[in-house]
Structure 1
């Protein structure tokens, strides 16, 4: 029996049949475009530009519904039915809104329409007929979240804290000590004399110095759409994950802190930063050679292989989470989103979509957790290695890096047209071999993607080809 739809239901969790019903109202005469241009990011900027609109239009030629695809994409931001109904009412799509929350639509009509109009107009007449009728402006219904906002509690009880330290070899640092070794969490970039190394959805990373060695201290801080409970779960998950998974291609966790205002995780320091930054030559660092890039992808694949062998799915493989030692050995980081599965080949469904959209497999966008999603994400990383381009760039055509696969398939370009010009030691045979692996990893059908062992073997063959 399906759960009732409420204001707090994630749009991602709506049934396919209900989404299709919504599309039947919105698809005619391209009503979905009105919605797309009215959707904003948390920053207030429009989420979709003309490039995105053209992509949604292309689904019509493929026999797909642009409204469905729009809702699938927007749903990855964890928007709720309350958000969707606000959007529909604001754009006077009352009929589809009434399919979701009829009471919200009734309240909106009472506020904006004369009583006589409400009594005489059937519901489908109250929807804005695209450029056919003029209907009174409808104000959005402001839906209050059912989740309570609470002050940050201690992240681990005394019982939890002691069990963490006794069940792992990780050092339990005091928050005061971590403040001291990071210059009170100096938020200036390292290049400006501060300690900040970077930040992500769950916190900020600072450089510290403990017992004669550099370390990276990740202070977990609530960002946009991240609750206190999310932080605690990320903190606990990362400690548990790192206690079980130790490998030369996984970043090493040294310790943690749970007695301060924010929980902290202490890692080994990676002097060459992230693969994303090095490919971009951030801070005027020299370009990475093709030979080194090949070693980086091989090591990264080995790290993923170790995770998968131990029944763990990372869920956020990306170049920003591949860190580099002083010798450019890659180490995968950020295990707070990782999931363990007893039956590893089984698909797990989740209501909360996590990960980075530019790397996410189609099934991951729909809430499925499978090891093949890591394979898809790694395919995007392989394209970054070959091209030196970031995964997404709004000023580039195509904006999504994985879309170059379509251009190559359509014979509009070759992979050699995209090879990073900053490299001088690449050779066509090994580039083509790596692209072949990337192409297989990026198959939209998860069951047609190779598993990580096949990827490792193919990359080993590619390395041998490079040496010949």
Structure 2
């Protein structure tokens, strides 16, 4: 292709130059565009109309010329618009031959390489849009040195790196600058605000850091500023209110702090104020009402405190208000009733209290979220005559995680447009009203974790749009109605922890989109429908602790179903439960002593027939045995070949290469790629040990771990990942692993390197000699019992390791005692962190299937699609870990007729004043009560059902350090 392009240019240029003598203006444009076309790839033939034999290009696709009928018209190419054309290659400098080009748009293509700095030398160019391509490298400083005519520049959604060049200040005429969604870094230069013509600036979704420089008030004409999703610190510019024409302000998802500058009250034209995801403090000021044009206000995920100001009611233009995830208290002011244009109100996860306001349903809102507060009372809707607007418009209603009681009102079914309904984690009584069948637009219905009784409405099939149905942790009874098969869009069904009975209907197998089914901890009986194997999208299926019987289905998902998902059904049989199903024998032949001779003759004939059949069966058995023997020999030969290949693959990584890490050595030979972060190019391992069961240290949701000796005699721990079908591309895999390899902390297991082939991925970790905390607590000898001091140090050290991960914005997802390793000095090291980032998407169903062994550690929000997974789910698991270390008990223990959940056991003991009974008896009373009891309470707080009630890990560390008694004058307790 390159040769063809070169020949095209070589042979066309003389012809075109010769033709310039006829019509120089038009042919100069033709030449520039044809040379531009020769340097790009056009798989869809969008430029097929571009013909070098044409006198002028004005009729070509994407080309526009000045109107020749206009005065002062040059009749030359003025615009080149090739957006969304699937073009690729490099942007050639031949466009310089278009001296009258004023608009160039090549957005949403696949152009690569760096930005051509010569483009800015097209003196007539006013608008340049190269967004949504694959451009990389830094922005050339010389590009902005010659941009005196540019009005708008967009390089958004590329892979640009480096800092903003100082030459940007030369663009004195620039009005719009969009560099969003790149990888630009460094500090924002103070000279940025010297671009006095700027009307709009968007630097969002980059990696800019440091404080926002002063001087923004100099941009009198600024209409919009967007700096969200960077790493900016400090406070908002105090004089930002002097930009009186600002209509849109977005500083979301940074690390900004302090209070809102009062000058903002002067932004009377501002329609959108988004400050989400920072650490702003103080009260929301009353003067916010002076911003009378506000339509969207998002102050969520900050540390605003105090009461919600009544002044909000004075902003009649408001359409969306989000004050969620702050520490606001008091009640919800009725002044919101004056916000006649309001469509969305979210005040979730604060400390609001009082009765659930009835007036909120009179506003005709589309979305209402009051979750995670302390609202009490019952759910009361105004009569339909007064709230017809709400019944018609409401799409989202989230009242979860409050203190609501009473019943679900039957006229809930009047909300015909409701798409999302969440009433979970309250104390709601009564039954599910039959009127829910009228919610035919509802996608998510969650009434879990309440005190509901009765049965599922028999005509639940009316919820034809339903995708998620969550009824777990109630007191529901009855059977699963067969009408549920009409909910054809259902992807998630959770009926666990109820009292449902009867068989599991085969109608469920008709729900072909189902991905997750949880029917555990009920009273289901009978046989499992064989048709369940038709559910091709199934990711999790849990029927544990019921009364099911018979053979498990064979095929599809059920060939790899975890044992824990079918536990507690003693009458189930099959290979998964390692229980053979009883053979079906023919009825025995009963001989009648009074039978006639003819009968005996018939019997003799039958016996002879059975002998023939037996002979045929014997032949078949012999043939099968020979076939199996040949198979064993074949497999043995193949195994020897595989081992030889693996030995070669193990030796191959000795070739050193160059990697983008300064101390790594790699090879990309046929056998794979090895990278050691320490620069140890002599690293070698015996790959066949990965097939040796004796070297296996343990298995987890992401793979098995083996101990392997390296050349210098030391050991390493190698995790052989078993999620190859889920792992990202090699490029993404290596980027994530290298990021994890840069993490260093005394309480984190060090990642030493990795090995990659398309079918085999290994993570090479430091080897921790004493093994896992789980083995020390639950499998250790009584004489090796951990002392209280050792247990406390393990808890504190693990907290420090986990806190360090959270500082790096890494969620562990799988905190449990098997992932806490203890070194020779007794110090803990958190392992297996960051593995979830190797998955293509952080889907909670995929994660839950990979962390089945974490039963008891997983936070309740992990199973709720409507609650965001944050680092607080790690805090929950850590709380359970604290209780496990202190009590010596497993998070969930299965008795003969009962299941004991550790958190519930300890919380009940604490309420009854006998918490000391829960302390591990192996300590034999040798522990300071003044430390042990507060540590237990801390564990329960961390394991709170409500995420906002849990402390963060930094707070956990401070609490532990306060709990620790002074060591002076105390003897170490063993």
- Measure the CA separation in 1 of the matches of 2:906 and 2:795: 19
Q: Once the 2 structures are TM-superposed, how far is the Cα of residue 426 of structure 1 from its aligned partner? A: 1.5
Q: Is the 8 A contact 1:219 1:264 kept in 2?
A: yes
From the superposition, tell whether residues 441 and 214 of structure 1 become closer, same or farther in structure 2 (CA, over 3 Å). same
Q: Is the 8 A contact 1:430 1:465 kept in 2?
A: no
- Measure the CA separation in 2 of the matches of 1:170 and 1:227: 27
Q: Is the 8 A contact 1:441 1:449 kept in 2?
A: yes
The residue aligned with 1:215 is 716
- Measure the CA separation in 2 of the matches of 1:317 and 1:233: 27
Greater RCO, 1 or 2 (C-alpha within 8 Å, sep 6+): 1
- The gaps in structure 1 that reach 5 residues or longer are 2-14, 21-25, 29-57, 69-79, 82-90, 103-107, 113-136, 150-161, 189-193, 341-347
Q: How does 1:119-134 map to 2 (within 5 A)?
A: none
Q: Once the 2 structures are TM-superposed, how far is the Cα of residue 212 of structure 1 from its aligned partner? A: 2.3
Q: Is the 8 A contact 1:185 1:206 kept in 2?
A: yes
Q: 1:181 aligns with which of 683, 686, 711?
A: 686
Q: Is the 8 A contact 1:172 1:256 kept in 2?
A: no
The residue aligned with 1:33 is none
Q: Is the 8 A contact 1:234 1:337 kept in 2?
A: no
- Measure the CA separation in 1 of the matches of 2:423 and 2:960: 41
Q: Is the 8 A contact 2:806 2:871 kept in 1?
A: yes
Aligned CA-pair RMSD: 4.7
Q: Once the 2 structures are TM-superposed, how far is the Cα of residue 403 of structure 1 from its aligned partner? A: 1.7
The residue aligned with 1:445 is 946
Q: 2:917 aligns with which of 404, 417, 423?
A: 417
Q: Is the 8 A contact 2:657 2:665 kept in 1?
A: no
The residue aligned with 1:97 is 485
- The gaps in structure 2 that reach 5 residues or longer are 1-365, 367-418, 425-430, 434-447, 458-466, 469-478, 491-505, 511-528, 540-555, 558-655, 675-681
Q: Is the 8 A contact 2:658 2:665 kept in 1?
A: no
- Measure the CA separation in 2 of the matches of 1:394 and 1:168: 51
Q: Once the 2 structures are TM-superposed, how far is the Cα of residue 456 of structure 1 from its aligned partner? A: 0.1
Q: Secondary structure at the match of 2:536?
A: coil
Q: 2:697 aligns with which of 197, 205, 216?
A: 197
Q: 2:660 aligns with which of 146, 149, 166?
A: 166
Q: Secondary structure at the match of 2:931?
A: helix
Q: Secondary structure at the match of 2:707?
A: strand
Q: 1:363 aligns with which of 861, 870, 895?
A: 861
- Measure the CA separation in 2 of the matches of 1:250 and 1:326: 14
Matched, 1:385 2:890: no
Q: Once the 2 structures are TM-superposed, how far is the Cα of residue 455 of structure 1 from its aligned partner? A: 0.5
Decide which moves more: 276-285 or 423-432. Answer: 276-285
Q: How does 1:160-309 map to 2 (within 5 A)?
A: 165-167=659-661, 169=663, 172=666, 180-181=685-686, 183-188=688-693, 194-210=694-710, 211-222=712-723, 227-229=725-727, 236=734, 239-259=737-757, 261-282=759-780, 286-309=784-807
Q: Secondary structure at the match of 1:215?
A: strand
Q: Once the 2 structures are TM-superposed, how far is the Cα of residue 299 of structure 1 from its aligned partner? A: 0.6
Bigger proportion of residues as strand: 2
- Measure the CA separation in 2 of the matches of 1:305 and 1:294: 16
Q: Secondary structure at the match of 2:892?
A: coil
Q: Once the 2 structures are TM-superposed, how far is the Cα of residue 333 of structure 1 from its aligned partner? A: 0.7
Q: 1:429 aligns with which of 918, 922, 930?
A: 930
Q: Is the 8 A contact 1:315 1:339 kept in 2?
A: no
Structure showing greater radius of gyration is: 2
Q: Once the 2 structures are TM-superposed, how far is the Cα of residue 217 of structure 1 from its aligned partner? A: 0.9
Matched, 1:143 2:535: yes
Q: Is the 8 A contact 2:903 2:940 kept in 1?
A: no
Q: Is the 8 A contact 2:906 2:918 kept in 1?
A: no
- Measure the CA separation in 2 of the matches of 1:444 and 1:304: 20
- Measure the CA separation in 2 of the matches of 1:381 and 1:369: 19
Q: Secondary structure at the match of 1:293?
A: helix
Q: Secondary structure at the match of 1:280?
A: helix
- 1:162-200 CA distance string (max 9 Å, x none): 999423745548779999536532433xxxxx2111111
From the superposition, tell whether residues 178 and 197 of structure 1 become closer, same or farther in structure 2 (CA, over 3 Å). farther
- Measure the CA separation in 1 of the matches of 2:889 and 2:835: 25
TM-score (norm: length of structure 1) = 0.62
Q: Once the 2 structures are TM-superposed, how far is the Cα of residue 429 of structure 1 from its aligned partner? A: 1.2
The residue aligned with 1:455 is 956
Q: Once the 2 structures are TM-superposed, how far is the Cα of residue 402 of structure 1 from its aligned partner? A: 1.7
Matched, 1:395 2:895: yes
- 1:122-162 CA distance string (max 9 Å, x none): xxxxxxxxxxxxxxx9966823349999xxxxxxxxxxxx9
Q: How many residues align?
A: 348
Q: Once the 2 structures are TM-superposed, how far is the Cα of residue 281 of structure 1 from its aligned partner? A: 3.0
Matched, 1:408 2:906: no
Q: 1:374 aligns with which of 862, 874, 877?
A: 874
From the superposition, tell whether residues 212 and 435 of structure 1 become closer, same or farther in structure 2 (CA, over 3 Å). same
From the superposition, tell whether residues 285 and 444 of structure 1 become closer, same or farther in structure 2 (CA, over 3 Å). same
- Measure the CA separation in 2 of the matches of 1:67 and 1:92: 7
- Measure the CA separation in 2 of the matches of 1:358 and 1:66: 28
The residue aligned with 1:317 is 815
Q: Is the 8 A contact 2:880 2:940 kept in 1?
A: no
Q: Secondary structure at the match of 2:717?
A: strand
Q: Secondary structure at the match of 1:358?
A: coil
- Measure the CA separation in 2 of the matches of 1:319 and 1:287: 16
The residue aligned with 1:121 is none
From the superposition, tell whether residues 384 and 235 of structure 1 become closer, same or farther in structure 2 (CA, over 3 Å). farther
The residue aligned with 2:12 is none
Q: Is the 8 A contact 2:844 2:862 kept in 1?
A: no
- Measure the CA separation in 1 of the matches of 2:836 and 2:781: 31
Q: Once the 2 structures are TM-superposed, how far is the Cα of residue 414 of structure 1 from its aligned partner? A: 2.4
- 1:52-74 CA distance string (max 9 Å, x none): xxxxxx966x3489989xxxxxx
Q: Secondary structure at the match of 1:184?
A: helix
- Measure the CA separation in 2 of the matches of 1:271 and 1:66: 54
Q: Secondary structure at the match of 1:432?
A: helix
- Measure the CA separation in 2 of the matches of 1:234 and 1:197: 28
